């Protein structure tokens, strides 16, 4: 646990020092989600229909924007090799780095999402469902994306290749996350969508650090 907390604190400190990158991701999220009303018009019914999907797509792309840097700096500086050579289990510090990435990138998106929901004329209960869905879904996006970041580490054109690898895997999270708001708007419960998202998150928590550790060892060799 001490290793997890030490790596988490280190990565959060590095993220704070490079906070311009975090502001870029957050600004990208806000700008992308804000552009759609200009394109489709100000019809409240149409905005409410597309709002959850637009916010989710913007959040997905914002998370993707920061993934290439997840292991890149440590790989270039040699820190990654030192961590892999340490006697501590690699899954612990990998999990800490993914957690730091979510806290720095995903959590701000969750906090800002209700403001964007208001732009799309969502009601109070729908805003809560939207934020709760992002709270469940964005950690899964970070975990899945971390696998892609580890697999493409050090490759030429890693950013484009990373997008091709992880975007298809993001689709189920996107469908259930946006579908939860639609189900609530239609008067149905959201337990099915949230249960599936929670199950996916637990599976990603169990498997993603192991897969990342294996991929990072291959990249270091």
pLDDT single digits (tens) 77-120: 778 888 888 888 888 989 999 999 999 988 999 999 998 888 88
**Segment holding 165, helix H or strand E:** helix 158-185
Contact (CB, 8 A) for 216 and 153: yes
| 77 φ, ψ (degrees, to nearest 5) | -85, -10
Give the structural domain span for 111: 2-220
Instruction: Please report the pLDDT score of residue 39 as a whole number.
Output: 80
Calculate the CA dihedral of residues 183, 144, 23, 58 and round it to 10 degrees. -30
Does residue 129 have a pLDDT over 80? yes
Residues whose CB falls within 8 Å of the CB of residue 85, separated by 6 or more in sequence, listed in order: none
| Count of structural domains within the chain | 1
Its pTM stands at 0.89
The pLDDT value given to residue 207 = 92
Decide if pLDDT at 202 tops 80. Answer: yes
């Amino acid at each position: 646990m001490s290793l997890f907390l030490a790596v988490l604190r280190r990565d959060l400190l590095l993220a704070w020092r490079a906070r311009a990158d975090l502001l870029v991701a957050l600004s990208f999220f806000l700008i992308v989600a804000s552009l759609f009303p200009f394109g489709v018009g100000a019809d409240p019914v149409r905005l409410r229909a597309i709002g959850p999907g637009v916010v989710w797509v913007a959040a997905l792309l914002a998370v993707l924007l920061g993934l290439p840097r997840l292991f890149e700096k440590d790989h270039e500086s040699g820190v990654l090799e030192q961590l892999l050579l340490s006697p501590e289990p690699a899954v612990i510090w990998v999990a800490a780095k993914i957690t730091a990435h979510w806290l720095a990138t995903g959590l701000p998106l969750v906090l800002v999402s209700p403001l964007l929901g208001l732009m799309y004329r969502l009601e109070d209960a729908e805003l809560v469902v939207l934020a709760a869905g992002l709270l469940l879904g964005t950690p899964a996006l970070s975990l899945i994306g971390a696998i892609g970041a580890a697999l493409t580490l050090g490759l030429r054109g890693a950013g484009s290749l990373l997008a091709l690898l992880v975007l298809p895997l993001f689709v189920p999270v996107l469908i259930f996350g946006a579908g939860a708001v639609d189900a609530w708007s239609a008067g149905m419960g959201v337990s099915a969508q949230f249960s599936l998202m929670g199950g996916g998150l637990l599976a990603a928590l169990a498997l993603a650090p192991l897969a990342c550790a294996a991929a990072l060892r291959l990249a270091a060799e």
